[in-house]
Chains A and B, each alone.
Chain A
Amino acid sequence: MTRLRYLKNVTTLAFDEEKCIGCGVCMTVCPQAVFGMNGDKRVQIEDRDACMECGACALNCPTEALTVTAGVGCAAAVINSMLGGGSATGCCCSIEPDETCSGNKRPTCC
């Protein structure tokens, strides 16, 4: 069976090739096999639409070559945040105002 695919052309993943040192930690942490090596020195984005914006690559990238607006793809969380935070639901979700991957403020969901 082929892998399940979500919507095309939506991810906020961005890659600054100049900053990449080719350590490959992004390839290790990505659960969707978005990255591959481009020669020996750098990685490249090979499957952009597979990105689920978990933020693992950006957080672990030692040179900040990768950035992504990390979040959890959870409709209940989006609804909860629209309703002003809200209490826990089936997936105990709510999204914090700051959804960026910088620092330790992160969207919440389970």
Chain B
Amino acid sequence: MNPPRMDQPFVIGAIETDIGRVPQVSSSLGWADHWGTIKARSGLNRMHYAVDPGLYALGNPDAGSLALVTANYKLSFDSLRSALPGRDAWILVLDTEGINVWCAAGKGTFSTAELVARIKSSKINQIVSHRKIILPQLGAPGIAAHIVKKLAGFTVHYGPIRTKDLAEYLDRGMAATPVMRLKTFTLSERAVLIPIELVQALKAALVVALVALVISGFGGQGTYVDNVVTYGIFFTIALLGGVFAGAVLTPLLLPYIPGRAFALKGLVLGLITAVVLVFFRNPDMTQWANRLEILAWLLLVPAVAAYLAMNFTGASTYTSLSGVKKEMQWALPLEITAGTAGCLLWLGSRFII
């Protein structure tokens, strides 16, 4: 395993040690780091936002300095170093293939085997005089502390969940308060997850909307363009309404929407959205084509919202696999049926009646 490269943009120098030069980093982030965070959060280059695994020096650490462990996802690395202004520490970065600590721990790359191997390959055991290593608590699903002790001789201390609590944890003599150990899912924590879910959903919605726009011109009584404007545009608006309800409103309003299952929460907001859309559509309900179209919206919009809300389980911080499987048993068939029926009804309203 090669040591981390010195020419990574955030490396500001090198520390000379008994085992060679160790790249040095600062606790203050530069504009390139901030811009990288924005891009990663919006999903533009999330998959390749990694730092080289291995040992780094934060500030000017020595043999007695703390040893902290993180993942090689750049946001994880930046979050850790920026939480410790004015402190010196060794940072051991595990190879998690550019994935954050919690996900990598679940995935098995932030693992006991990787930690033990990285302790040995980085020669951190020759640099520090102590045998303590601090891991983020959310790395625990991938690490067996007692095995690390046995194989590498280091005692694992699980630090706080959030890096913002790390300084206080250290000042308290490596002791966490109960609040530091509790994973929250606050409004701001939910809000930062929206862009990535939304971008993903909009990609699929764009394709569907384009197809609907092209098809919509053929049905109905008017000219092609008239039909696209009357029916195709509204299809697009309704679809976007469903996406908005499931991928934006559901995450934002999560604690206030009735139900525990995410699909149910999405369904509730999707129905409300559909009713609002129908209200503004204000159709002539004496005509069968319009009745079918309205029914289509009442099925399609909630189906889209429920599906996207259900997918938000993956980004949430408190759902279990058993629970997700249980809700999917009823939700997935319902979403597929309602979505398909909605599309067919819409086509029927355009071409049959």
Residues of A whose CB lies within 8 Å of any CB of B are 1-8, 10-12, 25, 27-33, 50-56, 59-60, 62, 69-79, 88-93, 95, 99, 104-110
Contacts and interface: CB of A to CB of B under 8 A. Distances in A.
Given A28-B176, A29-B141, A50-B318, 8 more contacts: A27-B181, A32-B182, A72-B103, A73-B323, A74-B314, A75-B313, A75-B324, A90-B196
Contact of B99 (A27, A76, A99, A110): A110
Contacts of A91: 311, 314-315
A15 B105 CA distance: 22
B107 to A, nearest CB: 4
B320 A10 contact: yes
Contacts of B143: 59-60
Contact of A28 (B105, B158, B260, B314): B158
Given A60-B144, A109-B106, A92 B47 contact: yes
A75 B143 CA distance: 25
Nearest to B113: A104
A76 B311 contact: yes
Given A59-B143, A60-B144, A90-B311, A73 B47 contact: no
B321 interface: yes
Contacts of A70: 106, 141, 321
A76 B326 CA distance: 14
Contacts of A107: 106-107, 321
- Top 6 A-B pairs ranked by shortest CB distance? A110-B103, A71-B321, A74-B314, A73-B319, A56-B140, A31-B183
B28 to A, nearest CB: 28
B328 A75 contact: yes
Contacts of A71: 106, 320-322
Interface string B173-184: 000101001111
Contact of A10 (B100, B176, B311, B322): B322
Nearest to A101: B141
Nearest to B331: A75
B145 interface: yes
Contact of B108 (A4, A51, A89, A106): A106
Contacts of B318: 3-6, 32, 50, 52, 73
Contacts of A6: 260, 318-320, 323
A7 B326 contact: yes
B254 A12 contact: no
A73 B324 contact: yes
B16 to A, nearest CB: 36
16 contacts: A4-B185, A4-B254, A4-B316, A7-B261, A11-B323, A28-B181, A30-B181, A32-B183, A50-B318, A60-B143, A72-B321, A75-B327, A90-B197, A108-B106, A108-B107, A110-B107
A84 B200 CA distance: 21
Interface in B123-182: 137-138, 140-146, 158, 161, 176, 178, 181-182
A99 B325 CA distance: 13
Contacts of B106: 54-55, 70-72, 106-110
Interface in B253-284: 254-255, 260-262
Given A6-B319, A71-B321, A77-B314, A1 B255 contact: yes
Interface in B79-136: 99-100, 103-108, 111-113
B315 A31 contact: no
Contacts of B107: 106-110
A25 B176 CA distance: 13
Given A108-B108, A110-B107, A53 B321 contact: yes
A109 B186 CA distance: 22
Interface in B40-64: 43, 47
A10 to B, nearest CB: 4
B181 A73 contact: no
A64 to B, nearest CB: 11
B310 interface: yes
Interface in B281-334: 310-311, 313-328, 332
A91 B102 CA distance: 13
Contacts of B325: 78
Contact of B141 (A7, A56, A99): A56
Contacts of A32: 182-183, 318
